[in-house]
Amino acid sequence: MGEKLVVSSSPHIKSGVTTRKIMLDVIIALVPAGIASIIIFGLRALLIIAVTVASCVLSEYVSRRVMKRKQTIGDLSAVVTGLLLAYNLPVTINPLIAAFGGVIAIVVVKQMFGGIGQNFVNPALTARIILMNSFSAPMSNWAKPFYYLNSSDAITTASPLGMLKQGATVSQLPSYMNMFVGDCAGCLGETCALALILGGVYLVARKVISPVIPLCYLGTAALLSAVMGRNVLMDLLSGGIMLGSIFMATDYTTSPITVKGKVIFAIGCGVITMLIRNFGSLPEGVSYSIVVMNLLVPLIESATHPVAFGKETAKDEAKR
């Protein structure tokens, strides 16, 4: 035995799941919605996706370089952020604004706080909020689905939630079926509920996410929608609630680790979303609701620590 042996702490084997593989699964899960966006809004959707992904990856690379930290673009998390940011933008957006959003998400929200696992709010959503406040007109310039097929028509329209806010009746809105497959105005990745649910089912099947957050989020929103006398199906199918509940509220870093915490977090998201939709001046509240709940995660977590094995029974015995 010439060579020296490695001595390290147990366990000596690994499951094989790595951060990179998890991120790859999220990217795969986001592909159907991406394809849907290209079909619905044309090749310009692909351009916006390419711009935000490139901007995020480049921002991550440069900020790690500048801060002299280990390079992390290989973990693919910047690609996920880029995809999610693109899905949260209208297809008509100026690519420069989209690229700026990527810089905000990665440099300001993620890397300045230490990089992957350290940011306390969702990078893509925070970037979207900053863009909405900085460029409110281009950020709510909704393209008509399939506008690229007939160039003579007006190409912009209102989003279903915007129409509702302005007092439209349900009959004036797109049909449920149209909204389910994404044939309605909105951010480029949020309209096709079908594609998003498909991605969600994939993530649950691959055990990347637990269904707790999406189900509690959507369930709470549906319940409140009914209580408020709104159209429940319309509330679930319109706006960013599918994208938000499946892909953004389930972000590991900015959601609670504990199961109970996840339930509280998701219910909170649902409540705030519906409060904004019903009482706020904004038509949509998914972004704000998730970011506000992100901020509460440390508190929720410390209140929901699991009870260690045998701790409860030990207490019971002591009482007796």
Does residue 75 interact with another protein by CB under 8 A? yes
User: CB of residue 123 vs another protein: minimum separation in angstroms?
Assistant: 13
Specify the stretch interacting with another protein by CB under 8 A; choose among 109-117, 126-134, 176-184, 188-196. 109-117
Residue with tokens 């649950």: 204
Task: Give the total of residues touching another protein (CB under 8 A).
Answer: 45
Among 117, 146, 227, 299, binds another protein (CB under 8 A): 117
Q: Return the structure tokens found at 188.
A: 């480029």
Per-residue binding letters, 76-105, with another protein (x by CB under 8 A) = -x----------------------------
Nearer to another protein, 69 or 153 (CB): 69
DSSP 157-215: E--HHHHHHTT--GGGSPPHHHHHHT-SSS-TTTS-HHHHHHHHHHHHHTTSS-THHHH
User: CB of residue 120 vs another protein: minimum separation in angstroms?
Assistant: 11
Nearer to another protein, 120 or 176 (CB): 120
Per-residue binding letters, 280-319, with another protein (x by CB under 8 A) = -------------------------xxxxxxx-xx-xx--
Contacts of 90 (CB under 8 A, 6+ apart): 138, 139, 140, 141, 142, 143, 186, 187, 188
Near another protein in 5-44, by CB under 8 A: 5-15, 17-19, 21-22
User: CB of residue 297 vs another protein: minimum separation in angstroms?
Assistant: 9
Among 116, 155, 170, 232, binds another protein (CB under 8 A): 116
The amino acid sitting at 251 is D
**137 φψ region: left (φ > 0), alpha (ψ -120 to 50), beta (else):** alpha
> Closest by alpha carbon to 209, among 262, 260, 270?
262
> Looking at residue 111, what DSSP letter applies?
G
Q: Is the peptide bond before 138 cis (omega within 30 degrees of 0)?
A: no
Among 115, 186, 199, 270, binds another protein (CB under 8 A): 115
Per-residue binding letters, 163-202, with another protein (x by CB under 8 A) = ----------------------------------------
Does residue 120 interact with another protein by CB under 8 A? no
Measured in whole angstroms, the distance separating CA 132 from the mean position of its chain's CA atoms is 16
Residue 161 and residue 138: Cα distance in Å, rounded?
Answer: 17
DSSP 122-167: -HHHHHHHHHHHHSHHHHT-EEPTTTTT-TTS--EE--HHHHHHTT
Among 72, 88, 159, 289, binds another protein (CB under 8 A): 72
Residue 157 and residue 269: Cα distance in Å, rounded?
Answer: 28
Near another protein in 247-286, by CB under 8 A: 252-253, 257-259
Residue 14 and residue 245: Cα distance in Å, rounded?
Answer: 31
Nearer to another protein, 66 or 257 (CB): 257
Q: Can you give the binding site for another protein, defined by CB under 8 A?
A: 1-15, 17-19, 21-22, 72, 75, 77, 114-118, 210, 252-253, 257-259, 305-311, 313-314, 316-317
